[in-house]
Amino acid sequence: MLPAVLLIAGNLAACQHRPTIAYPKLPEAGRVEAEFDCARLDDAILKTEAVRWVMREDGARLLSPDERFARTTTDVATSVAASFACLFCVSPMWLGEEGHAALDGADRRLLSLLKLKQDQQCAGRPTALAGMADLQMHDAVALRAERMRLLDKLRP
């Protein structure tokens, strides 16, 4: 019992994501974006980056598969406990996934737009990381943890 309480309390304390606005669906770049010229691609990247910035300001972050599993398990456990306590009660302690899905969608859209820009041989734009342009950032993003850190610096 005590480990379960500590797990729940720990996860509650760690929950940092507080959405302040509804997040839109951000699909990966497709046929519409493939027709964009370099200027429109840069514009689309700016817009997507602004939405991603809102998510990060709200505390959204990428979770590892283990972290996502732990949160889902905690949510199920608290819901079951609440159901036993009160037949029609809904658990108020739904942890969710810290905006992972929305942020992951934004990242994938950004990377797909950068890939299109690379394919069209557009000029790179500076980022907040000295010596790294946006097109180089696309190549550098390999690991999930690195991806969040690098894309936080996309805008100079």
Partner 1 sequence: MSRDRGTWRALLVVLALSACTGHRAVSPVDNGEPTELRLRAGDSIRVVTKQRERMSLRITEIRPTELAGVTVKPAAHEALPKGRDVMVPYADIALVEVRRFSAARTAAGSVLVVLTAAGIALDTMPIMMGP
Please give the residue ranges that form the binding site for partner 1 (CB under 8 A): 20-26, 32-33, 43-44, 46-48, 50-51, 53-54, 57, 86-90
CB of 29 to partner 1, least distance (A): 10
CB of 57 to partner 1, least distance (A): 6
Question: Of 72 and 83, which CB lies nearer to partner 1 in the complex structure?
Answer: 83
Question: Of 35 and 66, which CB lies nearer to partner 1 in the complex structure?
Answer: 35
Question: Of 105 and 148, which CB lies nearer to partner 1 in the complex structure?
Answer: 105
* DSSP string of 35-93, one letter each residue: T--HHHHHHHHHHHHHHHHHHHHTT-----HHHHHHHHHHHHHHHHHHHHHSTT---S-
Question: Of 55 and 122, which CB lies nearer to partner 1 in the complex structure?
Answer: 55
User: What angle do helix axes 2-14 and 65-85 make, rounded to 10 degrees?
Assistant: 120
User: What angle do helix axes 100-119 and 38-57 make, rounded to 10 degrees?
Assistant: 160
Calpha distance 47→52 (Å, rounded): 9
CB of 10 to partner 1, least distance (A): 26
